[in-house]
Amino acid sequence: MILVVLENQRGSIHPFSIEAVAAGQRFASELNCNLGIVCMGEKVDELKSQAQNFKSSQLIIAKNPMIDMYSADGYSKVLSNIINELSPKYVLMGHSYMVRDFLPRVSAKLDIPFVSDIISVDFNNGSPLYSKQVFNAKLATSIELSSDQALLSFQSAAFSSDDIENGSPETEIEFDVQISDQDIRSESEPEFQESSSGVDLTAAELIVSVGRGIESEDNLPLMQSLADSMGAEVASSRPVVDMGWLPAYRQVGSSGQVVSPKLYFSVGISGAIQHVVGMKGSKNILAINKDEDAPIFEIADYAVIGDLMEIVPKLTEEINNSK
């Protein structure tokens, strides 16, 4: 059996977990296994009603007031019990902050290897080969496991939610959660909110994202005009936020937001891996950069090589004239 464990994000399934479901369905079909989807902990009823739309062999509901709020102790205890009971071959999750916090504990408790932050999987005649980045993403390495069981977490966009097969679970079970006060020795702070501004980049369909290449805060209005002409939200790379030109909730990347708009229009961004992990799931990527060797062009669908200061005003004018 393959198990996918869902994570709550403000009452909905976390986007990384939705990608993990796509991964789970692929594993189940490649390895000819059953797929179980686990709804546990926070907002379990909301997770359950959304998970009922995914094709799976079994929906496993683990409900208990002691895990209504996330805690690494509570979650690792309950997931360990589920694994002990169901003996899945692989347990899959998105590589979120929560997973980084509690899944290593499950690995240590059960002595099952944990391959984290996987960027792709090659199904090698029933023996998956995992790729992950090492040395600050300068190199990629391949991992093949010899163990019978493994915990796996996937980097955003390793699998696409577009590939999910909708349907319904064949069966549904309530897991008998055995947990006591003594199991929970730590308490988690409430979830960190990136923004109270009302701007939700994760839901934006069009994003104009600006990088250090815009050179000065004085050039931001030009970029805002381009975004306005398209009805897009403005986002940025980290240096733009570090320099105080835009607020932190506009930052995309490993220490910012993870977005997947229909169009990600990158302006003066080099394409460092810490930025790319936050936007590579975009449906279309258009990049303007004056350096034809900029790494952003490796993932761009449309590449414009040139000076953004010349291109952006003309493009904005053209878009406005075409309305």
Ligand X SMILES: Cc1cc2nc3c(=O)[nH]c(=O)nc-3n(C[C@H](O)[C@H](O)[C@H](O)COP(=O)(O)OP(=O)(O)OC[C@H]3O[C@@H](n4cnc5c(N)ncnc54)[C@H](O)[C@@H]3O)c2cc1C
Residues of the shown chain interacting with ligand X in the complex, contacts defined by CB under 6 A: 211-213, 237-239, 251-256, 268-270, 272, 274-275, 278, 288-291, 294, 307-309
> Which residue number places its CB atom closest to ligand X?
253
Q: Give the nearest distance from C-beta 96 to ligand X in angstroms.
A: 15
Of 37 and 285, nearer to ligand X (C-beta) is 285
- With vertex at residue 235, the alpha carbon angle to CA 15 and CA 190, rounded to the nearest 5 degrees, is 50
Of 94 and 211, nearer to ligand X (C-beta) is 211
Of 135 and 148, nearer to ligand X (C-beta) is 135
Contacts of 128 (CB under 8 A, 6+ apart): 27, 30, 31, 121, 122, 144, 145
Of 77 and 250, nearer to ligand X (C-beta) is 250
How many whole angstroms separate alpha carbon 252 and alpha carbon 19?
19
Q: Give the nearest distance from C-beta 154 to ligand X in angstroms.
A: 18
How many whole angstroms separate alpha carbon 94 and alpha carbon 7?
8
Contacts of 121 (CB under 8 A, 6+ apart): 23, 26, 27, 128, 129, 130, 131, 158
3-state secondary structure of 231: coil
Of 166 and 216, nearer to ligand X (C-beta) is 216
How many whole angstroms separate alpha carbon 316 and alpha carbon 213?
18
- Tokens 């391949």, residue? 142
Q: Give the nearest distance from C-beta 203 to ligand X in angstroms.
A: 19
Contacts of 131 (CB under 8 A, 6+ apart): 118, 119, 120, 121, 122, 140, 141, 142, 143
Helical segments of 32-70, H only: 44-51
Q: Give the nearest distance from C-beta 305 to ligand X in angstroms.
A: 8
Write phi, then psi, for 212 (nearest 5 degrees). Answer: -60, -20
Burial 87-99 (b: 16+ CB within 10 A, else e): ebebbbbbbbebb
Q: Give the nearest distance from C-beta 308 to ligand X in angstroms.
A: 4
Of 9 and 251, nearer to ligand X (C-beta) is 251
Contacts of 300 (CB under 8 A, 6+ apart): 266, 285, 286, 287
Q: Give the nearest distance from C-beta 295 to ligand X in angstroms.
A: 8
Q: Give the nearest distance from C-beta 271 to ligand X in angstroms.
A: 7
Q: Give the nearest distance from C-beta 249 to ligand X in angstroms.
A: 12
Neighbours of 191 (CB within 10 A): 14
Of 54 and 297, nearer to ligand X (C-beta) is 297
Of 105 and 212, nearer to ligand X (C-beta) is 212
